[in-house]
């Protein structure tokens, strides 16, 4: 996909101060993505990030109230970006099946190029989504956070693809289950293929994950 002059806008309740609005903010986000990838979310701290960007811990807290909040911001950025790409690959496609196919490919494929849409490296961000995003919603605060709309963007993506499923088969009972199974499943399979290969059948270089989930979707809704 070619780079357009677009920008992913993130709603104000995902940050204390908009990181996209300042140099320091962008630096915080950019380097946090790198560091979370390198260290994992647990070992990543605002102190270490501060040292890495030559800034102070307390300054970072002016943008994000906690490292959990930063992760939620990143997750929402990711889903906003996916939503944008989803609209892009499904607009003006007359065939409902082709539309859904494009959507499933988008949701299950590897991210291999940084589109330079922004100050965010999408390849690394996708890796964070795969390895760390479950830590954002497996908390005891999930219910309160869900009410505040923390997972709205993700839900919207699921809703859009579910509608495509219903376009093809209006009587299919479980479109949301199917779509969220595919999304979470693809993430798991990518993680397993790298770390617990006995749980997958992934051969490196082949697009097995995309093919598996595409088949799964079309067979189960027919």
Interface ranges with DNA (CB under 7 A): 17, 22-25, 42-43, 45-47, 54-59, 61-62, 65-68
Q: Which of DNA, a copy of itself, none interacts with 138 (beta carbon under 5 to 8 A by kind)?
A: a copy of itself
Q: Which of a copy of itself, DNA, none interacts with 2 (beta carbon under 5 to 8 A by kind)?
A: none
Q: Which of a copy of itself, DNA, none interacts with 207 (beta carbon under 5 to 8 A by kind)?
A: none
Q: Which of DNA, a copy of itself, none interacts with 198 (beta carbon under 5 to 8 A by kind)?
A: a copy of itself
The 3-class SS string of the chain reads CCCCCCCCCCCHHHCCCCHHHCHHHHHHHHHHHHHHHHHCCCCCCHHHHHHHCCCCHHHHHCCCCCHHHHHHHHHHHHHHHHHHHHHHHHCCCCCHHHHHHHHHHHHHCCCCCCCCCCCCCHHHHHHHHHHHHHHHHCCCCHHHHHHCCCCHHHHHHHHHHHHHHHHHCCCCCCHHHHHHHHHHHHHHHHHHHHHCHHHCCCCCCCCHHHHHHHHHHHHHHC
Min dist. Cβ of residue 21 to DNA (A): 8
Min dist. Cβ of residue 57 to DNA (A): 6
Q: Which of a copy of itself, DNA, none interacts with 113 (beta carbon under 5 to 8 A by kind)?
A: none
Decide whether 48 or 188 has the Cβ nearer to DNA. 48
Residues contributing to the site for a copy of itself (CB under 8 A): 39-40, 42-43, 131-132, 134-135, 137-140, 142-143, 146, 151, 154-155, 158-159, 173-178, 180-181, 184-185, 188-189, 191-192, 195-196, 198-202, 208-209, 212, 215-216, 219-220, 222
């Amino acid at each position: 996909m070619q780079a357009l002059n677009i920008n992913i806008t993130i709603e104000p309740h995902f940050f204390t101060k908009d990181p996209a609005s300042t140099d320091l903010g962008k630096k915080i986000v950019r380097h946090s993505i790198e560091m979370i990838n390198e260290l994992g979310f647990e070992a990543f701290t605002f102190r270490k990030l501060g040292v890495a960007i030559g800034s102070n811990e307390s300054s970072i807290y002016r943008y994000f109230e906690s490292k959990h909040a930063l992760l939620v911001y990143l997750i929402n950025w990711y889903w906003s970006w996916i939503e944008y790409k989803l609209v892009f690959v499904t607009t003006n496609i007359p065939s409902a099946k082709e539309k859904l196919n494009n959507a499933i490919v988008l949701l299950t494929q590897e991210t291999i190029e940084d589109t330079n849409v922004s100050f965010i490296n999408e390849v690394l961000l996708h890796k964070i989504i795969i390895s760390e995003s479950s830590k954002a919603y497996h908390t005891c605060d999930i219910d309160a956070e869900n009410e505040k709309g923390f997972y709205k963007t993700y839900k919207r993506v699921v809703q859009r693809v579910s509608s495509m499923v219903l376009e093809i088969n209006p009587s299919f009972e479980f479109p949301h289950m199917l779509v969220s199974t595919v999304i979470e499943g693809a993430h798991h399979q990518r993680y397993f293929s790298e770390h617990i290969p006995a749980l997958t059948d992934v051969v490196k270089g082949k697009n097995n994950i995309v093919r598996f989930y595409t088949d799964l979707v079309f067979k189960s809704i027919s």
